[in-house]
Chains A and B, each alone.
Chain A
Amino acid sequence: MVDVRYDIAFRLYPYVRVSAQDAAPLRHPVVIVGGGPIGMAAALDLGKRGTPVLVLDDHEGVGQGSRAICFSKRTLEIADRLGCADAMLAKGVQWNVGRVFHGPERIFEFNLQAEAGHKYPAFINLQQPYFEKFIVDEIRAAQAAGAPIEIRGQNLVTGLAQNDGFVTLEVETPDGPYQIEADWLIACDGARSPLRDMMGLGFEGRAFEDNFLIADVKMTADFPTERWFWFEPPFKGAGQSALLHKQPDNIWRIDFQLGWNIDRKAELDPARIRARVDAMLEAQTGTIPPYELEWTSIYTFQCRRMEKFRHGRVFFAGDAAHQVSPFGARGANSGLQDTENLAWKLDLVLRGLAPDALLDSYSPERVFAADENILNSSRATDFLTPKSDVSKAFRNAVLKLAQTHAFARPMVNSGRLSVPCTYDGLPLNGPDALNGPARSRVGAVCPDVPLGEGFLLNQLGRGFTLLGINTQVPDSLTESGIAVTPLQLSAQDGPLAERYLGAAPAAVYLIRPDQHIIARWPLFNDAATRQALRRAIGKA
């Protein structure tokens, strides 16, 4: 038996009995447990690299509920490399303006699109089921083109053993149990990760005593496509804060912060939710437009992470490894960055081009990112939910001052929106020998730049790139069996010069497959480049 824990929005991978269920355990190079956005993105990344990958999910498709709705520019850049960003962008709602209110007062507004010259906007809003479906659609297209990806629905992992050199999984199906072996296992099985429990691993952190009510409302209203956030909302029953945000299909996400001591069942009564939504809409429009409740949910959250994300041959990614508050959209977005960090490393190790030590770098790099996300998300939560009288006095002082004084506005924190972390000072990094801009320093993700009709990030291949700007890099360079792709550009002024040269007349950048910068120099140096590449693949 495989229990149905939630309803399906899109039935994308119905259970099919496979011959392996009747045979001796088969060994797979990579098995991914959990077919959510993180697991599927990992499968697509590995499969497109030609590494065979098997996804096991205990359901037959994408779960219902909008859930994660804000997808960041970096997520779209990753999805673009994987081939599914266009569908996301076409369906998603773009927004740039956020307005912040305190009670009835409009305090200030911000515009996310601070800088031109990027292929993707800062954020799109898109219901999570669509996001997942677009990844699976691209998996189907990749499979048709020969990518070695397999998805098995209604395959529930019930047991796990780490052996010398491989992992054995016990898998339950509607036709009974069978065993699978994996060289490497990626656990993407969510915040309550059963695999983490099976391995007896901890998940420590801080719980926040607050409940948030989500009401997804379907209506044709002419609110602008903006993010509206209220501290101490002026409408009845809204709780301590409220959020209004647009999704595709004329759906509006409304969030109410209800506090800790609530009766969850009573609060989920549709009549009670409608009373809250009515009060909010009436306060904004003077009338109550017709609407339908599309999806409702009450959630609480914690900020926590595993001590390390690699345990032998098992890697943890996404919510299974780390959990943050929703403020800042750092959950799904950071999970995507986990998979892109891991995919190229696993691929190189499975091809025998990099040592096992490369895989050790996954945990420190992504723990570093998780800590940054947890820090930002905890700070936002402390601002939203002051824990004492004095913290509330300071919070409200900031909100009041922000109405008249610019200095207080950067302190208003309704979530610091997700940006990729820079791996400052981590072991795979090479030298930063260029007096260049801080944003493109060693460890950072390459900032995008318009190039002719296209964009820089599209010029970076699946592998390593050696970028020369106003200085020559060789036409070919192979180190440790890895061919580095050269990219020769020139720039006098404009975004490329601003983002990659700064005051320097020329620059050479060595770039990882996940578009993080390994090293940079004022001129090409063969020995230094080779040494930096060896270090970036765990060989030095």
Chain B
Amino acid sequence: MPLNTAPNLPDPDGFYDELLRAHEGLSQAESEALNARLILILCNHIGDGEVLREALRAAAA
């Protein structure tokens, strides 16, 4: 399955808000740690090496 870069979130504004609220009150280092944990959890959920490589390429572009 290729990386899905088409709109896929049912409530984009709502999700964005939740993401920012997760970081509220955190220091820079705490936020970076949270982001790192979040990335690892999501990557494991995807669990497809080719999709993850595509995502890394898309993020780096």
Residue positions of A touching B, CB distance < 8 A:
389-390, 393-394, 396-398, 400-401, 405, 407-408, 411
Contact = CB atoms under 8 A, between A and B. Distances in A.
Contact of B41 (A389, A393, A401): A401
27 contacts: A389-B32, A390-B32, A393-B29, A393-B32, A393-B33, A393-B35, A393-B36, A394-B36, A394-B39, A394-B40, A396-B33, A396-B36, A397-B33, A397-B36, A397-B37, A397-B39, A397-B40, A398-B40, A400-B37, A401-B37, A401-B40, A401-B41, A407-B41, A407-B44, A408-B40, A408-B44, A411-B40
A265 to B, nearest CB: 35
Interface extent on B, as a size class?
Answer: 10 to 19
A400 B41 CA distance: 12
Contacts of B44: 407-408
A408 B36 CA distance: 12
B37 to A, nearest CB: 4
B33 to A, nearest CB: 6
A401 B44 CA distance: 12
Contacts of B33: 393, 396-397, 400
A300 B18 CA distance: 46
A411 B39 CA distance: 14
Interface of B: 29, 32-33, 35-37, 39-41, 44
Contacts of B35: 393
B25 to A, nearest CB: 18
Nearest to B43: A407
Nearest first, the 8 A-B pairs at minimum CB distance are: A397-B36, A407-B44, A397-B37, A393-B36, A393-B32, A394-B36, A397-B40, A393-B33
Given A398-B40, A400-B33, 16 more contacts: A389-B32, A390-B32, A393-B29, A393-B33, A393-B36, A394-B40, A396-B36, A397-B36, A397-B39, A397-B40, A400-B37, A401-B37, A401-B41, A405-B41, A408-B44, A411-B40
Contacts of A389: 32
A534 B39 CA distance: 52
Contacts of A401: 37, 40-41
A108 to B, nearest CB: 16
A512 B37 CA distance: 47
B13 to A, nearest CB: 27
Contacts of A396: 33, 36
A394 B35 CA distance: 9
Nearest to B38: A397
Nearest to B36: A397
Question: Which residue among A394, A396, A408, A411 has the maximum number of chain B CB atoms within 10 Å of its CB?
Answer: A394
Nearest to B37: A397
Question: Which residue among B29, B33, B40, B41 has the maximum number of chain A CB atoms within 10 Å of its CB?
Answer: B40
B30 to A, nearest CB: 10
B21 to A, nearest CB: 20
A398 B37 CA distance: 7
Contacts of A400: 33, 37
A396 B40 CA distance: 11
A389 B29 CA distance: 9
Contacts of B32: 389-390, 393
Contacts of A394: 36, 39-40
Contacts of B29: 393
Contacts of A411: 40
A394 B29 CA distance: 12
A255 B35 CA distance: 32
A393 B32 CA distance: 7
Nearest to A406: B44
A411 B41 CA distance: 12
A430 B36 CA distance: 46
A401 B38 CA distance: 10
A59 to B, nearest CB: 49
A405 B32 CA distance: 19
Contacts of A398: 40
A411 to B, nearest CB: 8
A441 B6 CA distance: 42
A394 B33 CA distance: 7
Nearest to B45: A407
A103 to B, nearest CB: 14
